Amino acid sequence: MSLPTIDTNHFTKFLVDLLNIASPTGFAGPAIDFVEKELSQFKQLELSRTRKGALVAKWTVENDLPPVALTAHVDTLGAVVKEIKSNGRLKLSRIGGIQWNTVETEGIWVFASKGEKIRGSVLIDTASGHVHGAAGSETKRNDEHMEVRLDARTTSEKETRALGINIGDCVSFDPRVEVTHGFIRSRFLDDKACVANIVAAIKSLTDANQSPARTVYFHISNYEEVGHGAAAGTPPEVAELVTVDMAVVGAGQASDEFNATLCIKDGGGPYHFGLNNKMRVLAEKHNIPYKTDVYIYYGSDGEAFWSAGGDVALALIGPGIDASHNYERAHMDGLNATTNWILAYLLSD
């Protein structure tokens, strides 16, 4: 049986729109809303939110097979305002360990707690070449030396506070989305690409008038980048959980941007042998280009569920993402391979 067709134009548009919605962990509500609105057009899905704010979509199929689940996350790296400096600039506290060198000179938004959005950019505190000369490149890129310059007239803490900015306000970094020759380049393809894969698979099945082989829960999580995203929210009757998250691309890794990857082991240990083998058999049966790989500096939402006591068979698949947690890039080949793998899984019993 061949897999239903993927609407790649729709996939790309949905992904680009999602990438352009700021959603640092702790402030992912607007991205969850956007995914919920998209999924609400599929009338067979029953949508709900967990108390933590994750989105769960249930596709019920009438049979006696135990249900399965897939998860991906919309939250991203980001920051909050840690301190307002005496010169009116901001110090930040990072969310999810974004590395300062990757966002130096990046545009940002401060989401002031009273509702206003204030524009600015991230700079080192020795930014001007004409003032600091070579010292600027030697300054350590760390919490102490990186600051936000607001696009507002302020040179004091008082003036910055008068803009409505408070300690703890959320800060997002511009995604810089660009689609070129089959590549999609953007921050935070981790893990919005995989949310788009799941949505594309649901659309593809619906368009083809097909249903999954058994009841499925789709869990769109909102706290992954800090480690506990999908720890709760998957019901105990679920037998298998497939985490869909980026594959690691770079020196020493088997993954690349043109394949999907099955992760056998990451920083949290090995995944489930039986479900891994099921995923391999499905990939081979449907000629889905895939690699197997091991990720060193990596943990997943599926492991968060395991750590919280979840009793499921667990696997991790996803498209290769170059320069992850930096200026990321994916290719349509790896993205389509991932959607097809999800489709193959959904149609298998």
Residues designated as active site: 224
Least distance to Zn ion, CB of residue 73, Å: 6
Q: Does 190 participate in binding Zn ion (rule CB under 5 A)?
A: yes
Least distance to Zn ion, CB of residue 75, Å: 9
Least distance to Zn ion, CB of residue 16, Å: 18
Residue among 245 and 256 whose Cβ is closer to Zn ion: 245
Contact stretch for Zn ion (CB under 5 A) within 20-28, 131-139, 213-221, 238-246: 238-246
Residue among 212 and 229 whose Cβ is closer to Zn ion: 229
Contact stretch for Zn ion (CB under 5 A) within 24-32, 53-61, 115-123, 182-190: 182-190
Q: What secondary structure, in 3-state letters, does the chain show?
A: CCCCCCCHHHHHHHHHHHHCCCCECCCCHHHHHHHHHHHCCCCCEEEEECCCCCEEEEECCCCCCCCEEEEEECCECEEEEEEECCCCCEEEEEECCCCHHHCCCCEEEEECCCCCEEEEEEEECCCCHHHHCCHHHHCCCCCCCEEEEECCCCCCHHHHHHCCCCCCCEEEECCCCEEECCEEEECCHHHHHHHHHHHHHHHHHHHCCCCCCCCEEEEEECCHHHCCHHHCCCCCCCCEEEEECCEEECCCCCCCCCCEEEEEEECCEECCHHHHHHHHHHHHHCCCCEEEEECCCCCCHHHHHHHCCCCCEEEEEEEEEECCCCCEEEEHHHHHHHHHHHHHHHHCC
Contact stretch for Zn ion (CB under 5 A) within 156-164, 190-198, 214-222, 338-346: 190-198
Residue among 59 and 295 whose Cβ is closer to Zn ion: 295
Q: Which residue is nearest to Zn ion (CB)?
A: 191
Contact stretch for Zn ion (CB under 5 A) within 164-172, 184-192, 249-257, 309-317: 184-192
Contact stretch for Zn ion (CB under 5 A) within 27-35, 111-119, 187-195, 213-221: 187-195
Least distance to Zn ion, CB of residue 140, Å: 27
Give the residue from 323, 337, 230, 329 showing the smallest Cα distance to 283. Answer: 337
Give the residue from 326, 97, 320, 325 showing the smallest Cα distance to 227. Answer: 97
Among 191, 303, 322, 333, binds Zn ion (CB under 5 A): 191
Residue among 147 and 245 whose Cβ is closer to Zn ion: 245
Cβ burial, residue 128 (10 Å; 0-12/13-18/19+): exposed
Residue among 169 and 328 whose Cβ is closer to Zn ion: 328
Least distance to Zn ion, CB of residue 318, Å: 8
Least distance to Zn ion, CB of residue 247, Å: 10
User: Of residues 83-142, which lie at the interface with Zn ion (CB under 5 A)?
Assistant: none
Residue among 67 and 96 whose Cβ is closer to Zn ion: 96
* x-marked contacts with Zn ion along 305-344 as a string, rule CB under 5 A: ----------------------------------------
Residues that bind Zn ion (CB under 5 A): 190-191, 245
